[in-house]
Amino acid sequence: MPRRAAWSRSTPPGLSKRGMAVSGGSHWPGKADPFGVMAASLVSQLSDQQKKSESPLSWFRGVYLPPAPHPLNKTLVKGGKWKDVDSTQEKRRSFLHDFCKKYNSRKQLRTHLVHLVSRIYVEDRHKVLYCEVPKAGCSNWKRVLMVLNGLAASAHNISHDDVHYGKHLRKLDSYDLKGIYTRLNTYTKTIFVRDPMERLVSAFRDKFEHANSYYHPVFGKAIIKKYRHNANEEALKTGSGVKFKEFIQYLLDSHRPVGMDIHWEQVSKLCYPCLINYDFIGKFETLEEDANYFLQLVGAPAELKFPKFKDRHSSDERTSAEVVRQYLKELSKEERQLTYDFYYLDYLMFNYTSPIV
């Protein structure tokens, strides 16, 4: 076959770029990172005859369990004030790895490689990969990545529209396979997460309790039409005024009138923490402390600190545990339990305390 693109040189026979898949099976032998082993195999380790005789999916057998977490490179960390943050970080990394080992022993995971990395932003200067989790500080994280990449002098001067619609940052799926594998193996990979219920309520408040030219006509109209009995003409026309209970009915419906959205999709399906070996696990609950430690780890300029400001609706009360409790009162006990069940994996893999439902 002619080598029409860089990715085709490392694509197994019979698979297109979009058909590349990572599938669950037995563990890959050895201590190397599975993405590195896979990349090396794709490029050089199999003979032409072996490549012709191998089943395409057998190339990916076992590439689903991250190896033991690599030690963080802490040579750039200055001062002794990060001791507690570092200790917490090591516990989170170990906990996630142990969870994935246990979970994946019972259930196979399979996804397309391009989709696997589609939420990961790349910052090449400081070799950072950041998986975007909406409603967990992602707007300010993208501001920080733009500063790190030399696209802005300060995170405080970047507007919301520039952050989300400016197309200034590249995602990992925009690279060829060699570029993807190289970055997965050599860059510092981070993910920042949040208590699932807080993240869910935060998303609802942001998208449905404020004027929104996308979420009201696209999601709001469909939700009101299906779940509100005797909806008036104005509500059906604008999609404004969706109630939290109606939103939850949509979320839990196996036949949703409109698809899922990244703002309330599970982290397990956004960032695949049991397939990608994240080096750093930050939490929204300790956002500034975690983020500033991470910036030290990657050698960011000393003057760059994680922004403290709220990206939008700054006058609104932040979505706290108490705010969440008020919203959950609108649901029946069964709806609360089903909502928790929906985010069950996120609660488990990031060691969040399950809510009293």
pLDDT averages per 10-residue partition of the chain, 357 residues: 33 36 35 40 39 35 54 85 94 94 62 84 96 94 91 77 76 93 94 98 96 96 97 96 98 96 96 93 96 95 86 75 95 96 96 83
Q: Residue 257 has what pLDDT?
A: 96
Q: Are 85 and 290 in contact (CB under 8 A)?
A: yes
Q: CA torsion angle for 20, 24, 30, 31 (degrees, to 10)?
A: 90
pLDDT value of residue 53: 36
**What percentage of the chain's residues is helix, strand, coil (to nearest 5)?**
50, 10, 45
Q: How far is CA 321 from CA 137, 166, 287, 347, in A?
A: 17, 33, 16, 15
pLDDT of amino acid 110: 57
Per-residue model confidence (pLDDT) at position 51: 39
Compute the distance between CA of residue 230 and CA of residue 65 in angstroms, rounded to an integer.
50
Both tokens of 318, joined, read 């932040």
- Residue 22: the pLDDT is 44
